[in-house]
Amino acid sequence: MMRSFEDILEAAKGAKPRRLVTSFSEPDLDLICRAGAAGLIIPCLIGDGKAIEKRIERSPLASLEHEIVDEKDPGRILHRAISLIREKRADILMQGSIDQNALLNAACDAKTGLLKGRAASYVSVFELPERGGKLILVTDTFLNNYPDLTGKQRILENALSFSVILGIDTPKVAVLAAIEQVNPGIPSTLDAAILAKMAERGQFGKALVEGPLDIDCALSDAAAKRKGIKSPVTGNVDIFLVPEIDTGHLLAEALVCIGRIHTAGMVVGTTCPVILDVPFVPDACRLVEIGLASLALRRGEGDG
């Protein structure tokens, strides 16, 4: 099981370089250079070919393997990027200078985009060194606003598939709500209870799913027992499934901005890893996102 971002990067460096396609963005150049130098990627940069060549000739990327796709029409860059993925000429899609909403709409289009299953979602990975080294997943923190029960099921299934690349054999899932008791007046508690019952009947494989749980019970086994909850999940959660985007996004921002906890993440549920420029992901952690994408691809090929 991987316990740190360093573990992720070390594992990713053992895989073959992946072709990462992105619209050339000056702020991303240093990241692309570092990822290329680490052997994680072969960059495929889309944009004005001559301008890109002129810029990278003064950067470390000039001495590394890379590809430039000349596309002077900004309106066609996204189409070219997705076409390269669909044609299997690229493996990872990174936002770069592409408008985020446009990228998500195109990538999640069931017919012409990159949607693999029934829904895409965003998984955030947090590094918790103070707990003896542990990685936790929080989802959905960026993509799905107010999912219904079916949406939460799909988000959970995506997170469970993602957890495999971190070596989590039996994921422990806390389905979060405002309180730890089922209350018909609070829909999130009903959804949580149903998901827990589905897991009890084996619908999520080996995953152990508990809910509803408030943060207190999820983080502390002692607090859970004090409230009458006995579960192997409490106090040792691998995946936190939030009820809606307000909770997910604010939780992620609080962990980063107040808790100073490192995070990385990506879109899952698509045919390839999609890396977004998410505001609460520090620049220092973006290389880890590329590492995660590389590991996800290796897992998809049956190695890992």
C-alpha to C-alpha distance for 267 and 124, rounded to whole angstroms: 9
For the record, the structure tokens of 84 come out as: 């390269």
- What's the per-residue H, E or C state across the chain? CCCCHHHHHHHHHCCCCEEEEEECCHHHHHHHHHHHHCCCEEEEEEECHHHHHHHHCCCHHHHCCCEEEECCCHHHHHHHHHHHHHCCCCCEEECCCCCHHHHHHHHCCCCCCCECCCCCEEEEEEECHHHCCCEEEEECCCCCCCCCHHHHHHHHHHHHHHHHHHCCCCCEEEEECCCCCCCCCCHHHHHHHHHHHHHHCCCCCCCEEEEEECHHHHHCHHHHHHCCCCCCCCCCCCEEECCCHHHHHHHHHHHHHCCCCCEEEEEECECCCEECCCCCCCHHHHHHHHHHHHHHHHHHCCCC
Query: Which neighbouring-strand residues pair with 137?
Result: 125, 239
Q: Tens digit of pLDDT for each residue in 142-171?
A: 999 999 999 999 999 999 999 999 999 999
Mean pLDDT of the 284-304 span: 83
Q: Tens digit of pLDDT for each residue in 274-293?
A: 999 999 999 999 999 999 99
Confidence band for 304, pLDDT divided at 50, 70 and 90: very low
Taking each helix axis from N to C terminus, what angle separates 5-13 and 286-300, rounded to the nearest 10 degrees?
Answer: 50
Mean pLDDT of the 184-208 span: 96
pLDDT at 118 (0 to 100): 80
Mean pLDDT of the 172-188 span: 95
Question: Which of 75-84, 92-101, 126-135, 137-146 has the lowest average pLDDT?
Answer: 126-135
Between 3.40.50.11890, 3.30.1240.10, 3.40.50.10950, 3.40.50.300, what CATH number should domain 11-117+268-300 receive? Answer: 3.40.50.10950
pLDDT at 132 (0 to 100): 64
Sign of the torsion angle spanned by Cα atoms 55, 265, 282, 33: negative
Q: Tens digit of pLDDT for each residue in 12-22?
A: 998 899 999 99
Residue 81 has pLDDT above 90, yes or no: yes
Reported pTM: 0.94
CA proximity to 143, closest of 120, 112, 175: 120
Tell me if 84 sits within 8 A of 44, measured CB to CB: yes
Q: Is 174 exposed, middle or buried (0-12, 13-18, 19+ CB in 10 A)?
A: buried
Q: Tens digit of pLDDT for each residue in 92-118?
A: 999 999 999 999 999 999 889 999 878
Confidence band for 301, pLDDT divided at 50, 70 and 90: low
Q: Tens digit of pLDDT for each residue in 235-273?
A: 999 999 999 999 999 999 999 999 999 999 999 999 999
Task: Provide the mean pLDDT of the chain.
Answer: 93
Extents of the domains making up the chain: 11-117+268-300, 121-257
Residue 131 has pLDDT above 70, yes or no: no
Higher pLDDT, 131 or 180: 180
C-alpha to C-alpha distance for 226 and 212, rounded to whole angstroms: 15
For the record, the structure tokens of 38 come out as: 């680490």
Architecture of the 121-257 domain: 3-Layer(aba) Sandwich (3.40)
Share of the chain above pLDDT 70, in %: 97
Mean pLDDT of the 174-185 span: 95
Tell me if 175 sits within 8 A of 138, measured CB to CB: no
CA proximity to 50, closest of 30, 66, 71, 65: 71
Mean pLDDT of the 170-182 span: 95
